[in-house]
Amino acid sequence: MEYSESEESCWSISDEYRCEYAGTIIVSAASEKYDSPEEGVTSVVLVVEGKKLHYTRELLAMASQVFKALLCKETGLYQEEVELPEKKYQSVVWMLDYLNPRIRFSMSDEKAVALLPLADEYKMELLKEDCESMLLKVPPRLELVTLAHKYNLENLLRHAKQQSVTSLSHTQLEKQRKLPENKNVDLEIYIEILCKKLDKYASVGAQPAAAAPSKWWIVWWYKPCPNGCKFWCRRPTK
């Protein structure tokens, strides 16, 4: 591990973080910084995918009422070790980095997508807002519509729908709709996007691409039967 005698504040190099003061390394590489307890700092251990992450319970409790309740037993005694089932190790590390005052956290598209479920489940509103702000800046894709609808991000949903209408072709939308991350895309919203694309063509007097369907076809193909059939009956909705 490199060592420097200079007094510097925190900086990051890709996914590795160091914080040095007067030549003392406080935070090491991303894969190591929570591996071992730190005297006077560690007060809880989170277990994720069988790995232990040593952290400060007060930071978690301040950021989330859900964590505040989770980290304390009904008797009022602190739990020293808490398992977070069905969570991704890397996602939890990024969440801890975000809350860590000794790390200058840099949000990215990948991190925002990974952190949104945690921010929503643990009611971390500031983190949720920062994830939304990041996703408002990335290139358009249908996944943004899916995420915005799932996590009630109104600004992102409005923006992502508009970007899908103006920047994505019908062929691109269909390819993206078949991706695993979009398997739960809301069909009403998807139909709305496709119909608005046709309205856009009509407003400028242009002809849609050959692959683009008509509104009648869109409703006929995507709209579930209003009678609640188990399988779509492909009937147009009047």
Q: In this predicted structure, what is the pLDDT of residue 113?
A: 97
Closest CA to 47 of 80, 76, 25: 80
- 136 phi and psi angles, rounded to 5 deg: -70, -15
Q: How confident is the prediction along the chain (238 residues), in pLDDT tens digits per residue?
A: 333 333 333 333 334 344 443 333 344 445 478 998 888 898 899 999 999 999 999 999 999 999 988 887 654 556 688 899 999 999 999 999 999 999 999 999 999 999 999 999 999 999 999 999 999 999 999 999 999 999 999 999 999 999 999 999 888 998 999 999 999 999 889 988 988 887 765 554 445 554 455 544 455 445 554 555 444 444 444 4
| Separation CA 238–CA 235 (nearest Å) | 9
How many whole angstroms from its chain centre is CA 160?
A: 14
Using one digit for the tens of pLDDT, what is the confidence trace for 66-105? Answer: 998 888 765 455 668 889 999 999 999 999 999 999 999 9
Contact 101, 120 (CB under 8 A): no
Give the pair of three-digit tokens for residue 23.
């030549």
Kindly state the tokens that stand for 125.
């509103």
The amino acid present at 94, given as its one-letter code, is W
Instruction: Quote the DSSP letter at residue 12.
Output: E
Alpha-carbon span 18 to 31, nearest angstrom: 12
Domain borders along the chain are: 30-123, 139-200
Rounded distance between C-alpha atoms, residue 150 and residue 144, angstroms: 10
Helical H runs in 32-153?
A: 57-63, 65-70, 89-99, 109-121, 125-135, 142-150
pLDDT at 201: 58
Query: CATH assignment of 30-123, given 3.40.50.300, 3.30.710.10, 3.20.20.80, 3.30.9.10?
Result: 3.30.710.10
Threshold 0.75, pTM exceeds = no
